[in-house]
Amino acid sequence: MNAFPEALPVKAPRPRRSSLRSWRWGDRLFYVLAWASGLALCLIAGALVLYMLVRGLQYVSPSLIFSRPRAEVNQAQIGGFLDPLLGTLLLVAIGVVLATPVGVASAVWIVEYGQGRVGRRLARVVESSVEIVAGTPDIVIAIFALTLFQLGAFSFLSFTASGGGVYGRSFLTAGAAISLLAIPPVFLATRDGLEALPGHQREGAFALGKTRVATIRRVLLPGVRPNIATGVTLGMGRIIGDTAIVFLLLGVGASERIEPQSGPAGLNVLRGTGSTLTSYIYSNSPAGEGAAPQKAYAAAFVLLAMVLALNAAAGFISGRGRSGRMSFGDRVRYGAWA
Amino acid sequence: MLERLRHPWSDRRAELVLGAVACSVAGAIALMIAFVAVGAWPTFAHNGLSWLGAGGNPETQIGNMLHTGPHPPAVAYHLRAWPLIYGTLLTAGLALVFGLAFALLAAVFLVEFAPAAVRRVLSPVVRLLAGVPSVIYGLLGVLVLAPFVGNHVISPAEKRSVQYVVQLDGTGLAVAVVVLTVMITPIMVALIADALSEVPAAWREGAVALGVNPLRATLAVSLRAIRPAIVAAGAFACARAVGEAVMLAMVSGSDAFSPKPWDGVPFLFEPLLTLAASIFRNAEGLSAPAVRSSVDAFALLLLFSAFVLSLGSYLVKLPLRRHHAGLR
């Protein structure tokens, strides 16, 4: 027999597996602890989702979702959470409509225009401001916005109370404040996308005689559309999950109903007060006034389902992006609870 | 008007408009600092630096401010905020210590040791845990963890030992720290794992080639290389923990009582209140000027600490950025 058959598949020598048995005890302990903490994270998340699922299936019913809340002492009569649900959707819409243009415009300016001595310095200032906004606690934003919108000049956003003071609480003011939570993710995703676009796309557009603006509108922005979408989805998640700004700026009343103010149809709701799922959960928990844990669980289940859906959407959209995908760390950091 | 907008913009005009929008974000920050500082001024003017000191229960003191009228006298501003500051430092500090250890282990596991299948599960899990709204964490804390701790962990003897001072019902330091740790750990895991995966593979391979086991290589080479990123992740998570309001308002016991370490085991279960949670709880009394000013002072302190922490995390990361730029 041939000692070296040619047909024998040539295998690369396998690296000798470093056996745990050769490790020191301290190292083994560290290794086990690392496994344990990784699995602990999975367990916590699994327990959280399962528990909420069980509670949700137990308490959620169509009548709860589609009936309006009522202020009653008797728990059986306080109704469902249609108004908070609509309030959440409305607030997300206002927040996204306000935050997206600001975030995208700032990012475009930083990447495409922020040049020259003054420009670069200004760009640095804007970038650090966004970073500070991302790190500012939501409760501080809420206090600031309440002071700002109670100025007489902003009375058109809410309404003037009988004593002459501006109330400062409405969907418009809450939406304006809450949009600050969504600006950092939109800005960051757009900036990273623009910076990752290959230079020849810009050069090609310029060579064809397009102006800078036309290049931005026709070439660059379409190219970073998936990035913008990722940023917006992350921002929506932060808006949905926020409680502090809602609690201070939406004028959560005892009934949790959407209360329109005077004004043309549409605007009257925007100038009026209401509530969201988060504030509804808080008010119905033992920490709030009404102790109705079943309703709090049901609303929390709906809220968690929305957050999970957004989470999945963000993963799906950012997977489709061609370039400049947000890093894992940035996605968690800018999409985390406010 | 609309007709003019539809015409193609000149470059100059686009630059000015976009630049103005970008600078408005910076303007908003400046405005925020100015408003909060102006609002907080009366409190600091009437209390001086002893505002930071101890003395009485700040919640009671704020309660006394409620009916002091539209032009409160100087005495009405009396407040000693130390119990709130202590509560904030205690919860955020403990959560940071536990969370950092937890996050370091989990990040090393995620990047170096996890099999591909586990990794595919773990990174969505981290994203999920970071994205769950704080009010849901608070709800689970107050409806599940706190009753459990109150009924099964605290012994009747411990309850009796402090019953003339404070009621132990489960909400308090331990539950607050546990929930806060779960909330900030995923953020740190993601940031540390990101930095770990950016360490050039050759560095670790070099160490392994010299005969070090993979774990030691990670500890000695990778973790050492990303020390600034670890500090930055801790600072960012700490800023989040300090600013957390809703969850802590729900599970901390909401009593501005400073837990006393010399009480022994009951220390772990004593209620407390943090600065952010106190703002949240006093949202209904904001029409009283004295309350408003005190709350603005809390907000100013929070803003200041968030500012210091984000500045710190930026400065700490500078050498790392320079270093990565050199590598590319």
Q: Tell whether the model's pLDDT for residue A3 goes beyond 70.
A: no
Question: Best residue in A30, A41, A279 to probe B by mutation, most B CBs within 10 Å?
Answer: A41
Q: Are A232 and A179 in contact (CB under 8 A)?
A: no
Q: How confident is the model at residue A77 (pLDDT cuts 50, 70, 90)?
A: low
Q: Tell whether the model's pLDDT for residue A17 goes beyond 60.
A: no
Mean pLDDT computed over every residue of chain A: 84
**Which segment of A159-168, B112-121, B123-132 scores lowest on mean pLDDT?**
A159-168
Q: What is the mean pLDDT of residues B176-188?
A: 95
Nearest C-alpha of chain B: how many angstroms from A225? 18
Asked if residue A11 is part of any domain, the answer here is: no
Inter-chain touch A287–B307, beta carbons under 8 Å: no
Residue B9: helix, strand or coil by DSSP? coil
Inter-chain touch B306–A135, beta carbons under 8 Å: yes
Q: Tell whether the model's pLDDT for residue A16 goes beyond 60.
A: no
Over residues A231-253, the pLDDT tens digits come to: 999 999 999 999 999 988 887 76
pLDDT, position A73: 61
Q: Tell whether the model's pLDDT for residue A1 goes beyond 50.
A: no
Minimum-distance CB partner of A109 among B19, B249, B250: B19
Asked if residue A164 is part of any domain, the answer here is: yes
Residue B23 region, left (φ>0) first, then alpha (ψ -120 to 50), else beta?
alpha
Nearest C-alpha of chain B: how many angstroms from A4? 30
Amino acid identity for residue A281 in this structure: I
Q: What is the mean pLDDT of residues A16-45?
A: 86
Q: Tell whether the model's pLDDT for residue B45 goes beyond 80.
A: yes
Asked if residue A124 is part of any domain, the answer here is: yes
Q: How confident is the model at residue A338 (pLDDT cuts 50, 70, 90)?
A: low
Nearest C-alpha of chain B: how many angstroms from A242? 7
CATH code assigned at A263: 1.10.3720.10
Inter-chain touch A133–B28, beta carbons under 8 Å: yes
What is the number of residues in chain B? 328
pLDDT, position B100: 96
Inter-chain touch A138–B243, beta carbons under 8 Å: yes
Q: By CA distance, what is B295's nearest residue in A?
A: A143
Q: What is the mean pLDDT of residues B105-110?
A: 95
Which residues in chain B are contacts of A237 at CB distance < 8 A? 131
Asked if residue A315 is part of any domain, the answer here is: yes
pLDDT, position A188: 92
Q: How far apart are CA B195 and CA B190, in angstroms?
A: 9
Question: Best residue in B108, B126, B135 to probe A by mutation, most A CBs within 10 Å?
Answer: B135
Check: complex ipTM more than 0.85:
yes
Inter-chain touch A211–B8, beta carbons under 8 Å: yes
Which residues in chain A are contacts of B99 at CB distance < 8 A? none
Inter-chain touch A131–B314, beta carbons under 8 Å: yes
In the structure encoding, which two tokens stand for residue B314, read together? Answer: 């930026």
Q: What is the mean pLDDT of residues A141-148?
A: 92
Q: Tell whether the model's pLDDT for residue B141 goes beyond 90.
A: yes
Q: How confident is the model at residue B7 (pLDDT cuts 50, 70, 90)?
A: low
Q: By CA distance, what is A183's nearest residue in B?
A: B25
Q: Are A80 and A280 in contact (CB under 8 A)?
A: no
pLDDT, position B188: 95
Inter-chain touch A337–B140, beta carbons under 8 Å: no
Nearest C-alpha of chain B: how many angstroms from A1? 38
Nearest C-alpha of chain B: how many angstroms from A229? 17
What is the number of structural domains in chain A?
1
Q: By CA distance, what is A311's nearest residue in B?
A: B128
Which residues in chain A are contacts of B219 at CB distance < 8 A? 30
**Which segment of A174-178, A184-188, B62-66, B253-257 scores lowest on mean pLDDT?**
B253-257
Asked if residue A33 is part of any domain, the answer here is: no
Which residues in chain A are contacts of B285 at CB distance < 8 A? none
Minimum-distance CB partner of A140 among B105, B216, B299: B299
Over residues B300-318, the pLDDT tens digits come to: 999 999 989 988 887 887 7
Nearest C-alpha of chain A: how many angstroms from B186? 8
pLDDT, position B328: 40
Residue B253: helix, strand or coil by DSSP? strand
Nearest C-alpha of chain A: how many angstroms from B314? 9
Which residues in chain B are contacts of A122 at CB distance < 8 A? 19, 22-23
Inter-chain touch B299–A126, beta carbons under 8 Å: no
CATH architecture of B83-327: Orthogonal Bundle (1.10)
**Which segment of A75-79, A204-208, A260-264, A273-277 scores lowest on mean pLDDT?**
A75-79
Inter-chain touch A125–B105, beta carbons under 8 Å: no
pLDDT, position B71: 81
Which residues in chain B are contacts of A281 at CB distance < 8 A? 135-136, 139
Q: What is the mean pLDDT of residues B6-19?
A: 79
Please work out, in degrees rounded to the nearest 5, the angle formed at the alpha carbon of residue B251 by the alpha carbons of B246 and B256.
90
Minimum-distance CB partner of A130 among B9, B25, B286: B25
Question: Best residue in A188, A194, A333, A334 to probe B by mutation, most B CBs within 10 Å?
Answer: A333
Identify the domain containing residue A233 by its residue range: 40-335
Pairs of residues, one from chain A and one from chain B, whose beta carbons lie less than 8 Å apart: 292
**Which segment of A9-13, A69-73, A285-289 scores lowest on mean pLDDT?**
A9-13
HEC per residue, chain B: CHHHHHCCCCHHHHHHHHHHHHHHHHHHHHHHHHHHHHHHHHHHHHHHHHHHCCCCCHHHHHHHHCCCCCCCCHHHHCCCCHHHHHHHHHHHHHHHHHHHHHHHHHHHHHHHHCCHHHHHHHHHHHHHHHHCCHHHHHHHHHHHHHHHHHHHHCCHHHHHHCCCCCCCCCCCHHHHHHHHHHHHHHHHHHHHHHHHHHCCHHHHHHHHHCCCCHHHHHHHHHHHHCHHHHHHHHHHHHHHHHHCCHHHHHHCECCCCCCCHHHCHHHHHCCECCHHHHHHHCHHHCCCHHHHHHHHHHHHHHHHHHHHHHHHHHHHHHHHHHHHHHHC
Nearest C-alpha of chain A: how many angstroms from B54? 24
pLDDT, position A9: 56
Which residues in chain B are contacts of A286 at CB distance < 8 A? 142-143
- How is chain B split into domains, by residue range? 10-74, 83-327
Which residues in chain B are contacts of A141 at CB distance < 8 A? 32
Which residues in chain A are contacts of B108 at CB distance < 8 A? 34
Q: Are B197 and B225 in contact (CB under 8 A)?
A: no
